[in-house]
């Protein structure tokens, strides 16, 4: 949710389909800049690199670099994380940040943090590629 000096630029929801391919719904898009999508993807990757536990950040980077080298679309199925909501904001003085809200499968016990983080990485890669 935006505060007084923050402006929402992008709001996206992604839900994992049974194939692993994400269904993406753009809820809001500030159309004055064509760089918002690229900035939001970079922001999303950077924010997750700081919160994921090892070895997930390294795996995420390796897989992204592999995709950049050979851009093949392949979707991994996920079990614990059913989707996410991403909001991308601008603050004063060209400062940007995102809010990432993973949505968990309500029918499963999510006590296995390794499996949950693996699903988050897979879902992010499905979304970003």
Cα–Cα dist 32/26, whole Å? 16
How much is the pLDDT for 2? 62
Judge whether 63 and 36 are in contact, CB under 8 Å: no
Domain that holds residue 37: 7-128
Q: Please give the mean pLDDT across all residues of the chain.
A: 91
Which pTM does this prediction carry?
0.88
Query: pLDDT for 79-105, tens place per residue?
Result: 999 999 999 999 988 899 999 999 999
How much is the pLDDT for 114? 93
Q: Given a cut of 90, is residue 23 above it in pLDDT?
A: yes
* Number of structural domains the chain divides into: 1
26 found inside a domain: yes
1 found inside a domain: no
């Amino acid at each position: 949710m935006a505060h007084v000096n923050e402006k929402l630029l992008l709001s996206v929801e992604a839900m994992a389909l049974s194939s692993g391919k994400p269904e993406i719904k753009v809820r809001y898009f500030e159309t004055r800049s064509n760089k918002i999508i690229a900035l939001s993807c970079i922001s999303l990757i950077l924010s997750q690199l700081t919160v994921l536990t090892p070895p997930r950040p390294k795996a995420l980077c390796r897989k992204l670099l592999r995709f950049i080298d050979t851009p093949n679309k392949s979707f991994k199925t996920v079990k614990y994380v059913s989707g996410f909501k991403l909001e991308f904001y601008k603050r004063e003085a060209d400062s940007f940040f995102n809010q990432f809200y993973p949505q968990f499968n309500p029918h499963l016990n999510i006590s296995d943090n390794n499996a949950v983080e693996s699903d988050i990485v897979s879902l992010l890669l499905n979304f970003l590629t």
